[in-house]
Structure 1
């Protein structure tokens, strides 16, 4: 692994666990096993490193779920939504994905001051890039009669609200209990949007 990738890996773990303000470049350097000055030969600033990681993690997230949907085109709308739901639950429990999810959620819930209005657009842009995947899925379900004819935005907002809530649940419950709770939440979500109930 290159030194830059080592720095990014360690920084992501520290930012996810401690946040931006509680993570120093010295801490990152020590964890990598190099001097602080050496970090700056790869990265210009802590802010730059943080924003780079944010962009990379959000891009990974978008590509991961896009690939998941493309490789499962044969599934019906219910199966695809369930697959998305299960995959988010899995990512909340397994490394190295858990660190990425913790990082994203920490940024969204407790954004550091460097995340100003300009940088908040990063979330909107990445979310907008993911919307076509969900909108296509919703339209497929509506055309097949699986999903109620309600606003895509309402369904997407509902879905994200559940996914964000599941992240919190994953922090509190052991795997078996989390899996049990998340399956019940899935059933309630599907019942709410299903046109055949």
Structure 2
């Protein structure tokens, strides 16, 4: 693995665990096995390292959604949507990425808050485009009831946000049972 990638991997874990303010470049360097000045060969400062990680994590979510919907393209809407939600739930349960993502989406470091919001808004537009296609496909196939697309998208995000919170409260088995229950109610509200 290249040093730049090691730095990002190490910093991701430290930022998720200790927060942006609680993580120093010296810690990141020590955990990576390099000297602090060597970081500057890869990133001009801590903010640039953080933003590179945030953008990578955000892009990973979009890629995950794209992959899930592409792989399930020929399936009925119910199965496509359930697979999508399960893929997102798997991401949420990843030890460092899930925590990092939500932590900094909700509480971005002050010095990079504007950039975090811009990255997040751009990726939300990309995710919404995927959800739009899924919604339209489901409506045209007669599998989704008549409701405004904005409600569908809002409900999807609310479900995902709820699952994220559940991830902190419950072990894997309990989380899975709660996901099953939430999915059943979510689908009942959408099914034609």
**TM-score normalized by the length of structure 1:** 0.92
Displaced runs of 4 or more, over 4 A: none
Contact 2:16 2:96 in 1 (8 A): yes
Contiguous gaps of at least 5 residues in structure 1: none
- Which of the pair is proportionally richer in helix? 2
Tell me, yes or no, if structure 1 residue 128 matches structure 2 residue 125. Answer: yes
Match 2:157 to one of 157, 160, 163: 160
Question: Matched residues in 1 for 2:71 and 2:86: separation?
Answer: 15
Question: Matched residues in 2 for 1:115 and 1:58: separation?
Answer: 15
- Root-mean-square deviation (CA, aligned residues, Å) is 1.3
SS in 2 for 1:92: helix
Number of aligned residue pairs: give it: 192
Contiguous gaps of at least 5 residues in structure 2: none
Tell me, yes or no, if structure 1 residue 82 matches structure 2 residue 79. Answer: no
Aligned counterparts, 1:167-186, within 5 A: 167-186=164-183
Tell me, yes or no, if structure 1 residue 112 matches structure 2 residue 141. Answer: no
Tell me, yes or no, if structure 1 residue 47 matches structure 2 residue 47. Answer: yes
Q: CA deviation at 1:38?
A: 1.3
Question: Matched residues in 2 for 1:127 and 1:104: separation?
Answer: 13
Q: CA deviation at 1:92?
A: 2.5
Question: Matched residues in 1 for 2:115 and 2:46: separation?
Answer: 18
Question: Matched residues in 2 for 1:186 and 1:12: separation?
Answer: 30
Q: CA deviation at 1:118?
A: 4.5
**TM-score normalized by the length of structure 2:** 0.95
Match of 1:140 in 2: 137
